Each structure stands twice: as structure tokens, then as C-alpha cells.
Amino acid sequence: MSTDLIQQIEHWGEPQVLVLGDLMLDRYVWGDAERISQEAPVILLRADRREERLGGASSVATMLRALKARVALAGVVGADADAERLRHLLNQLQVNHDAVLTDESRPTTVKERYVGRAQQKHPQQILRVDYETRQAIDAPLEQRLLAILTRQIALADIVLISDYDKGVCTSTLTQAVIRQALHGGKRILVDPIRCGSNDGNHPYMKYKGCHAMTPNRLEASLATGLPIDTLDQAWKAGETLLHMLAMEASIITLDKDGMAMVHRDGRRQHFPTRPRQVYDITGAGDMVLSVLGLALAGGSGYETAIPLANVAGGLEVEKVGIAPVSREEMIADLQASHGGAAGSVHKQVSLDVLDMQLRYERARNRKIVFTNGCFDLLHAGHVQYLNEAKAQGDVLIVGLNSDHSVRGLKGPQRPIHHEADRAEVLAGLAAVDYVVLFDDPTPLSLIERISPDVLVKGADYSKEQVVGAEWVEARGGRVHLAAMKPGLSTTSAVVKLRDQGEPPSNALKVA
């Protein structure tokens, strides 16, 4: 299953996504929570850093850009310095904000969070202060916004509505956007507001006609008046929303229990998720909406889009605040959650993906082993060596000299086989978890970046000759010298083939 999901990610392309909703600026003040104030029984935060991020619907835009989507954003800001900052951040992300309009009667919505660290533990949010108004935008502004949205809907592959109940997603505007999207054959997904059911016109009726919506457990329970403590109850609430709003699918997020979907074709499916170390649930709903939208726009069906949204939402709650998740992080997480790389192709990773993978492995107290080499003509000695290397820990990373690096070490006649072929052969071995190419003459910079627990080299070296040995040992790691199988080496194999009159290019035909 993980291989299928990885392939979906790799074939998403760069869909055009239109996001409509309430725009916010998230401000974070970080510091050490050292003691209780002498003035009052409150925590004293010694601030040392201030950070601003895009929030609300604009956080959806941020997440989509990190996932390589093209994004147009629509909403309303005030005529203030916070709006200028928000637009500046959108420019940095190359998000189209032609449909971000100014309303001089309201402030730009700002959520200011104070985050404290105590005794070197993971930072935790202490307080949040909101600057906002929930007043609905007026009719002239609605019409101006709709005029721009009409053009942008025609260009979009999918439309997402991120409603935080701050006045932008009025019933009139939302219904007009849904009608235009349906007329243009565009899917439209909604992350709804939190509201209670009532006997009159239900607040969710403004979403009627959308293809799918993604309320969380509490939102769905409040909106339907039904308890959601079991999967059957989740499906019942989902069916209620599905029929009330004439949707294609109703998707209820169930925090640690994953997601439940009810489809109008009769399907009732549960998509479980694996346990996570939850640091901050901020942004999880935005991430789910982003990945569902991108996956559906990229050609995935609900049966694959929802598991992918589960993965991304899980990665989001492992971070503090609203922080983007990349495609590479999702692939690395899928590989790790299924016992390593999903097939030889996905064992071959970039340094950025390897960095993310190592964070995952170390969080689970797995011991990292590193070795390196050219591995030009793989033979029994290599297999024995790599098996012994793997036995020194839990995860074996092989640094593979690039073709350029091999030529510098071995001369212009080497390597015999291209780096992609050598990487594929290595990745096919059970002992090898990840293969990463390096271009330098030595692997020192790679070792410093990985900082393995165990560094392995052949016993034909002394420990003093092993590149990176001092670095590893200085950080509490160790060096292991693996036994070499007598009489076997790539160089001797090449010489033997040449003596027998075989051209080197045919060497692997018998390997």
C-alpha cells in the first residue's frame, strides 16, 4: 500500500488550486518559561524570538506551495501593517493574491501565540491573543470578490474553502462560488466552521452542493446533534451531512482514529492512522484540506487521497505551530512506517529526504550505521561486508560515490557502471536501508551531516585511516572495521576480465 501511495505523490504534478477563506497572520513569541512572576501567579516568559507565519486560509496556501501546487488565494484583510506583512509573505511564496481585497472597516486577523520552553523540554503554547472581527463583509465587497473569483475558478483545477467564521465566507458568496465551480466542472472541498444544529436554516446550508467537506469529530457532532464515539456513529453523522448538503463524499476527521468517509455511491470506509507524538494540533485541519485537495486535483481518488491526508496531518501534529509538510517528508514517512524503504527505487534518497528520515528514526531510538564506497562490481565480499555493517545497528545508510567521484579516485576508465545502476543494485540488498550519492572525494561532509552512531569501514583500514572516525567518536559513536573476504575486490575482478579478453562494459552480465 505504501508503494502505491508514494507513486500517487510522485505523479501529482503541479495542479492549480484556488483557496477562498479567512486570511490570518500567525505571530509567535518564543522564550524560556523560567519561573512564576513576583507580580502575579502567572508564568514569566523570557522572550528570545519573534516569528510570523501565514494562518487560516493563507496557511492552506502555504501548505499547498510547500507541496508544489500553484496557488491563488482569495479573502479580505484590513488596511494596516499586518496586511502589508501578510501580502509580503504571500509574495515570497509566489502565491497569487489578486483576490485578496482590503476592507478598511476591519483589522487584519492576527493570532498571537506565546510559546515557552521549560527544562529543555519541547516548547508548549502558554497563551493565545486574537485580534479580529467576525462581522460579515458587506454586499459591495462580496460582489468585487466574486468578480475576481469568477475568472480564477475558470483557471483552477480544484477550489478549496477554508472557513474560520471571520466574515468572508458569507452564504451569498459561498453559494455563488459553489455554483460557478459546479458549472465549470471543478471539484470544491470545504473545511467548515464549528456550529450547532438548529431547527431553522442550518449554518452548513451555505456549503450545499460542494463535493466534500472535512469537519472534525466535534464539528460534525455539533452540526448533526449526534454523538461520535464509535465508527458507526461517525458514519451515521457523515450520512446525515452527505444527504443534507447533497455532497459527493462526507469525510470526518477522527484525530487519533484517522478518518471516516461516507460516499454517495454507498461506500462507508474507515482510514486508520498510526500513533503520533502530538506536540501541537494547530494546522492539522488545514493540512488535511490541503492534501485532499492536491491529491484529488492530481488525479487520486478518495481511497488514496484520504490516507495521504492522514499521513500529512500526522506529520503536522508532530510540529509546533503551522508548519508546512513537503512531498519528500510524506514519502519518507510512508517508507519508515512500513519497515523501511518501499522497494529499491525508494531506498535511493536525496540528502534532504535522508535528513527527514533520520529525524523519524532517531525519534524511535534506532541506531544509525553508515558506510561508503564505489561498489562498482558487486561481489560476495561486498554482500558479506554490508551484512556485517547492518548487524551493527538498526538502519544502514550507504554513501555511494558518484561517477565523478569514482573517476577522481580510480581514473578515467572507472566506474564501469553508471551511478544509477550501482545505486539500484545496492538498494536491492536486504541489508541496505538507504543509498545516498555524494560527489566529493571523501565522505567527510556526508558523515558530518548524518552523524551516524556507527561508522563502518573495511578491516584493510586502520581506525586512524578511516575518514570521519574522529567526528563520530567525538559525538559518542563508534567505528567498526568489518572483515573482508580474501581474494575479492572490484579491481581484481576488472583485471581478471581484461586478462580473459572480456570488455569491462560486459562485466555485470555475469555479476
Question: Residue 147: which CATH number?
Answer: 3.40.1190.20
Is it the case that residue 149 has pLDDT exceeding 80? yes
Instruction: Dig out the grid coordinates for 430 from the structure.
Output: 536486504
Residues 325 and 348 in one domain: no
Mean pLDDT of the chain: 87
* Predicted model pTM: 0.69
d(Cα 81, Cα 90) in Å, to the nearest integer? 14
My answer on whether 106 and 59 are in the same domain is yes
Question: Any alpha helices (H) in 19-170, and if so which ranges?
Answer: 57-66, 81-93, 139-155
State mean pLDDT over 103-125: 85
Both 269 and 389 in one domain: the answer is no
- Do 298 and 419 have their domain in common? no
Q: What is residue 511's predicted lDDT score, i.e. its pLDDT? A: 30
Domain carrying residue 177: 2-25+55-111+120-337
SS3 of the chain: helix, strand, coil, percent, to 5: 40, 25, 35
Mean pLDDT, range 15-39, rounded to an integer:
92
pLDDT at 350: 83
Q: How far apart are CA 100 and CA 109, in angstroms?
A: 13
Among the candidates 337, 368, 401, a domain finishes at 337
Residue percentage of the chain with pLDDT more than 70 = 87
Residue 286 is among the residues annotated as catalytic for this protein = yes
**Average pLDDT for 219-242:** 96
153 and 226 housed in the same domain: yes
| Residue 280: pLDDT over 80 | no
Indicate the pLDDT class of residue 499, thresholds 50, 70 and 90: low
Q: pLDDT band at 30, cuts 50/70/90?
A: confident
State residue 158's pLDDT score.
97
Task: Assess whether pLDDT exceeds 60 at residue 503.
Answer: no
Does 139 reside within a domain?
yes
Residues 6+ apart with CB under 8 A from 50: 27, 28, 29, 30
Contact predicate 377/494, CB 8 Å: yes
pLDDT at 216 over 90: yes
- 303, 319, 337 - which closes a domain: 337
Considering the domain architecture, whether residues 320 and 460 belong to the same structural domain is answered as: no
Q: 338 pLDDT band (50/70/90 cuts)? A: low
Rounded average pLDDT over 183-209: 90
pLDDT computed for residue 500 by the predictor = 60
Same domain? For 223 and 367 the reply is no
Top mean-pLDDT range of 21-25, 346-350, 373-377, 498-502: 21-25
* 279, pLDDT greater than 70: no
Residue with cell 524560556: 32
In the predicted model, is pLDDT for residue 219 greater than 60? yes
Closest CA to 244 of 260, 229, 259, 226: 226
**Vertex 360 angle, CA 356 and 363, to 5°:** 135
Which one of the listed residues 26, 157, 286, 433 is annotated catalytic?
A: 286
* Per-residue pLDDT, 327: 84
Q: Is residue 245 part of a domain?
A: yes
What is the per-residue pLDDT for 341? 43
Is 255 in the same domain as 149? yes
Residues 211 and 278 in one domain: yes
Residue 409 has pLDDT above 90, yes or no: no
Q: What is the DSSP letter of 330?
A: H
Mean pLDDT of 134-147: 96
Question: Which three cell numbers, joined as nine digits, stand for 164?
Answer: 474560520
pLDDT band at 197 (very low <50, low <70, confident <90, very high): confident
Q: Is residue 45 part of a domain?
A: no
| The pLDDT value given to residue 17 | 97
- How confident is the model at residue 88, as a pLDDT? 97
In terms of domains, do 296 and 163 share one?
yes
Number of domains in the chain: 2
